[in-house]
Chains A and B, each alone.
Chain A
Amino acid sequence: AQSVAQPEDQVNVAEGNPLTVKCTYSVSGNPYLFWYVQYPNRGLQFLLKYITGDNLVKGSYGFEAEFNKSQTSFHLKKPSALVSDSALYFCALFNTNAGKSTFGDGTTLTVKP
């Protein structure tokens, strides 16, 4: 079985502060990990992915994520939050052994001016 956990339903940060949206996973084998963002009344949009290589991956809109195999985590980060970053963020896992994908339940990020 495989799973993705986003332990925080809601994250609130002030504009200009760093932000972290947490994601942990469980899978047998090597995971491919992804972050997607969903703005109100819009479809999910790809932010970044980890397949292999450097544990720190950079994506769209200044976001980055760090793959930590020992902690089975893939937290999303941004050094300085913008109000426009306010959205729903989903972490996703692709199990290369089973060919199955799993999304987390999402974390709502609110950035206040």
Chain B
Amino acid sequence: EAGVVQSPRYKIIEKKQPVAFWCNPISGHNTLYWYLQNLGQGPELLIRYENEEAVDDSQLPKDRFSAERLKGVDSTLKIQPAELGDSAVYLCASSLGDFSTGELFFGEGSRLTVL
């Protein structure tokens, strides 16, 4: 069974440029998460989808971040414009049901460096 696939694995951009990350969850997983992981810290939730609906986006900085999961399958996270402080690893995860019901399956992450 294929795991959660994220791309690109690495991205280097200059500040004020846009960037997009893509995630393909495990087939059949209705819940999809985007997390931000800063160096030396644990993952922090940015947004959670149940199917195509964003059910928790309270921690998503909506002035520059956006996300979509149009058909309830794969998802894109966009930053425009990027700032120096956005340098981090962006993790995508998926699960059957929500966080409480079982395990999350994580992708390998997309590491963003903003110069």
Interface of chain A: mostly helix, strand, loop or mixed: strand
Shortest CB distance B35–A (Å) = 8
A-chain residues with CB within 8 Å of residue B40 when the two chains form the complex: 105-106
Of residues 32 to 48 in B, which have CB atoms within 8 Å of A's CB atoms?
40-45
**With the chains together, A42 CA to B9 CA distance in Å?**
11
**With the chains together, A34 CA to B4 CA distance in Å?**
20
Closest residue on chain B to residue A9 by CB atoms: B40
Of residues 75 to 104 in A, which have CB atoms within 8 Å of B's CB atoms?
90, 92, 94, 96, 99-104
Closest residue on chain A to residue B92 by CB atoms: A43
**With the chains together, A4 CA to B42 CA distance in Å?**
10
**With the chains together, A106 CA to B103 CA distance in Å?**
18
Closest residue on chain A to residue B33 by CB atoms: A101
Inter-chain CB contacts under 8 Å: number: 53
Q: Judge whether B99 and A94 touch: CB under 8 Å.
A: yes
Question: Taking the complex as formed, is A56 at the interface, i.e. its CB lies under 8 A from any CB of chain B?
Answer: no
Residue contacts A-B, CB under 8 angstroms, 20 given:
A4-B42, A32-B100, A34-B103, A43-B4, A43-B91, A43-B93, A43-B106, A43-B107, A44-B43, A44-B104, A45-B106, A46-B102, A51-B100, A96-B100, A99-B56, A100-B45, A105-B40, A105-B42, A106-B40, A106-B41
Closest residue on chain A to residue B109 by CB atoms: A43
B-chain residues with CB within 8 Å of residue A92 when the two chains form the complex: 42
Question: Taking the complex as formed, is B8 at the interface, i.e. its CB lies under 8 A from any CB of chain A?
Answer: no
Known: A32-B100, A44-B91, A49-B103. 18 other contacts (CB 8 A): A36-B106, A41-B108, A43-B106, A43-B107, A43-B109, A44-B93, A45-B106, A46-B102, A46-B104, A46-B105, A90-B43, A94-B99, A96-B100, A99-B56, A100-B56, A101-B99, A103-B43, A105-B42
